[in-house]
Amino acid sequence: MHFKTRAIHVGNEKCAATGAVVRPLHLAATYVQPGAGEWGEFDYSRSGNPTRAALESTLASLEAGCGALAFASGMAAIHCAMGLLKAGDHVLAGSDIYGGTYRLLHKISSRAGIQVTLVDTTDLASVEAAITPATRLLWIESPGNPRLTITDIGACAEVAHRHDALLGVDSTFATPVLTRPLELGADLVMHSATKYIGGHSDLVGGALVVRDPSLWDELYFVQNATGGIMGPWEAFLCSRGLKTLAVRVCEQSRTALELATWLSSHDRVARVHYPGLPDHPGHDIARRQMEGGPFGAMLSFELRGEFAEAKRFVEATHLFQLAVSLGAVESLIEQPASMSHASYDAADRKKHGIADGLIRLSVGLEAYEDLQQDLEGAFGVL
């Protein structure tokens, strides 16, 4: 079956009891067992829930994995992945990553004796040079957040595996519609399901998908032990969101490309970061990894100005609502330096190219003409 068909049918089989075309929502916390010490398919909803299991089945199919795990948030999913590591292990992460991931690695994982290094993963020589004998996990984002850098997933997988490390990919921006990292050699892929998978700004969730059953077993053990699971209502909404994922992402991506093209010629814009533009440094890799396009609905651009000008700009739009998060039907705007990436140490923001004048857009399903006029109006306040 094709992607769009699987998104609707895999994990969404009709209800066996009633024939309902939408699977029922299972809210039970516990389940009657066949006997003492005899375990049924489900026993306690932290360990497994029918609604969550249905969503996990769909996600595994869409990412070409052997199994998936759904979490209470994207950060809970990443925390579970970091739970594979022990004191003395080293995680090598990209420098263009979500601020919450930076905070987890530098402020939480480091407390457990896990070593952390950030590197520009678009430079394979730098990745190779930064790996140590203790490196157990290479963690990347492609496209990156917030600079939309493109990392060669297959090449990073080769480097990681040659050094007996795992490759994990935060693919939230790309979604499985545009990129499927497991097919390119990654060991695990993470999604903040809050974003495109849910798609409507009405849930918080996360997911991990893997291609090796033994790795799934390890991650399931950590998830069950720590308890950061997705609730059944959120799982139900995610399953519904997946049914329209491909249609939403492709339409949003078309508008994002139009906006990126327009912004790239604007006299108040110093630089546009969007992999669909031919002059983007990672355009050729993006074409390969994203099957020739579309290239996603996220873009960022740098104003000809500094922190104060960017702050005025993001506060002046109307259709682009000033908020963190992304990937929903409504368009959002934010200033990474003061919002999504404020958790970065200031020196690291500067070191890794997160400029004070950088603005990030999440393009929704509104008409291009209306969004373009909204941004043009914000340029008028500068």
Whole-angstrom CA distances from 302 to 61, 96, 268, 297 are 38, 15, 9, 17
Structural contact between residues 222 and 84, judged by C-beta atoms closer than 8 angstroms: yes
- Which position among 6, 31, 43, 46 bears the catalytic label? 46
- Which position among 89, 120, 170, 187 bears the catalytic label? 170
Q: Which two tokens stand for residue 120?
A: 């520009």
- Which position among 147, 195, 211, 248 bears the catalytic label? 195
23 is catalytic: no
Q: Which of 283, 274, 265, 270 is nearest to 358 (CA)?
A: 270
How far apart CA 47 and CA 279 sit, in angstroms, is 48
Please return the burial class of 369, using the count of CB atoms within 10 Å of its CB with bins 0-12, 13-18 and 19+: exposed
How far apart CA 299 and CA 319 sit, in angstroms, is 16
195 is catalytic: yes
Q: Within its chain, how far is the Cα of 291 from the centroid?
A: 18
Stated length of the chain: 382
User: Is the peptide bond between 143 and the residue preceding it cis, with omega within 30 degrees of 0?
Assistant: yes
98 is catalytic: yes
Please tell me the number of Cα atoms within 13 Å of 118 on its side-chain side: 20
- Which position among 98, 196, 274, 344 bears the catalytic label? 98
Question: Quick one: the chain helix, strand, coil %, rounded to 5?
Answer: 40, 15, 45
Whole-angstrom CA distances from 40 to 36, 117, 267, 324 are 11, 44, 65, 41
How far apart CA 169 and CA 98 sit, in angstroms, is 12
C-beta contacts of 40-48 below 8 A and 24+ residues apart: 45/229, 45/232, 46/224, 46/227, 46/229, 47/224
107 is catalytic: no
Say which residues have a Cβ less than 8 Å from residue 144's Cβ, sequence separation at least 6. 94, 96, 97, 150, 151, 173
Whole-angstrom CA distances from 3 to 43, 60, 61, 175, 364 are 32, 12, 9, 12, 22
Catalytic residue positions, numbered: 46, 98, 170, 195
